[in-house]
Amino acid sequence: MSAIDTIDQKTFNERFAKLLELQFEGFFMCRIATDPDPTNEQLGVSGYTMALVRESPLDQVIRLQADDDFVKKNLRAPAEQMGIKIGVDVKNVQYDGKPYEPGFAALLDAPVSLEGKNPPFDGPIFDSRNNIVGSDDNMMFVVNPFDLVIRGKGVTLRAVDYLNPAQPDQKIWQIEDPNTYVRRLPSQFTSSSTQVMSILRVFDQATYFNDRLRYLRKSKEMLEAKRKPGKTDPELETEIQELESRIYQIDFWGSRFYTKMAFQLTYDFRANGPQAVQDKKNVLRGTADTTHPWPVTFWFGGWDGDLLVGYMQGTLGIPFLPD
């Protein structure tokens, strides 16, 4: 029996009124298919997003972290030159609004991940099924499943939320009433977010993508200059055609790229699932309440539909009692 189990409810509520807050941010990847492609499309034909032929298939998975091999294969140029590094990490730890040194030591720069699976997808996705279980038009997507994991030095925190706590295994397409999961839809949608644009330092999306087009065209020209008369280099030709497809998509869809860059989807709910803290050596120097919901708020924005990269910022609140 833990110490928590022995205290009465009044004391319990008082002791755990204050939050340990983990603030995180960074770039994420999502190889998402977009309407009017089906949401399980792997190549990308009629939507504005696509998997280039040498890349991994579109799999819809929201990747807050990505291993080097995956990044090498799928993070398109000029992401690296732009300073984009995939990884959403903890950037600040506070207790009741003030810096919390033990948390800082254990969790600063700790990677934040969204885990779990949503078959047939191999990880969490923005679930919509083209306006069936969410709305593409209004960016009303559930992040499904929600299993947020933060792995620090000697401590792992896990916040899980069920779409339907009464039936945790129920799939979103089986839920008849969206009221069941409305709390998991964005609480706010900003179509032209200055916060997002400030972070990305992009204030004119049209110019941003015109620059991209110039870069892609120049890159293509440079590759074409490498062609040798009478000799075909399949790898070179593929690379040229991949660039051509990227140019085509931005040309073809235009405003769809520009507008989404400034989008900001804010989520705000109390994670209702079984929360977990693994802290054998008590590096956090305190006790976390895992019996009550943990408030979590985060936003996704700055979506670059060419690079398939966006920005995320959020805060996980953990009811906490320092030693």
Partner 1 sequence: MKPITNREELRSYLWEACEIEQQLMIQYLFAAFTMKKHPDSSCSPAQLEAVRRWGSQVLMVARQEMEHLALANGILTAIAEDPFFARENIPLQSRYYLGQELASRRSPNEKVTPCDIPFVFERFNLDTIGRFVCAESPGYATLKKAGMRIPEWCFGTKNHKCRSTTLADWLGHAGNGQESLRVVGNGAPQRLARTHLQEPFRAATPDTAETLSKPLHPGSIQELYDNINQAIHRIPNLFVGNPNQQVFVPVEYQINVVPITDVASADLAIRLIVEEGEGIEAPPGYQSHFTRFFDVRDQYVRLLQEHKGFDPALPVVTNPSPDVISKKYTLRVFDLFNHAYVTLLFLLTSLYRNFSATESSYPFFSAALQNAAFGPFMTMILRPIAEVLAHLKVGKDSRETAGPSFYLSREDEILLWPRPPAPQTSPGEIEPGEQVALAKQLDDIEFFLRRLDYIVDELAALSTERKLDNHLIDSNHKEWARRQLAFVSESAQAMANNMRRIYQVGEIQQFVVQP
Q: Residues in the site for partner 1, rule: CB under 8 A?
A: 35-40, 42-46, 50, 52-54, 120, 129-135, 137-140, 171-179, 182, 185, 189, 232, 234, 237-238, 240-242, 244-245, 248, 252
Q: By C-beta, is 40 or 156 nearer to partner 1?
A: 40
Structure tokens at 81: 């030159």
Minimum CB separation of residue 182 from partner 1 in Å reads 4
DSSP 43: S
3-state secondary structure of 147: strand
| Nearer of residues 186 and 314 to partner 1, judged by Cβ | 186
- The nearest distance, CB 131 to partner 1, in angstroms, is 5
Residue 34 CB, nearest distance to partner 1 (Å)? 10
Do the Cβ atoms of 288 and 318 come closer than 8 Å?
yes
Closest to 286 measured CA to CA, from 85, 3, 49: 3
Shortest distance in whole angstroms from residue 288 CB to partner 1: 32
Q: CB of residue 196 vs partner 1: minimum separation in angstroms?
A: 17
Residues contacting 243, CB < 8 A, separation 6+: 216, 219, 220, 223
Nearer to partner 1, 57 or 274 (CB): 57
- What's the half-sphere exposure (Cβ side, CA atoms, 13 Å) at 25? 13
**Which of the 8 DSSP states describes residue 87?**
E
If the CB atoms of residues 1 and 166 are measured against partner 1, the closer one turns out to be: 166
* Residue 305: how many other CB atoms lie within 10 Å: 23
- What are the structure tokens assigned to 116, written together? 């779990």
How far is residue 35's CA from residue 256's CA, in Å, rounded to a whole number?
11
Question: Of 101 and 137, which has the nearer Cβ to partner 1?
Answer: 137
Of 76 and 158, nearer to partner 1 (C-beta) is: 76
Residue type, 92: N
* CB neighbours of residue 269 within 10 Å: 19
Nearest distance in Å: CB 240, partner 1: 7
**Residue 214 beta carbon to partner 1: minimum distance, rounded to whole angstroms:** 20
> How many alpha carbons fall within 13 Å on the CB side of residue 257?
28
Q: Are 290 and 183 in contact (CB under 8 A)?
A: no
For partner 1, give the closer residue by CB, 31 or 158: 31
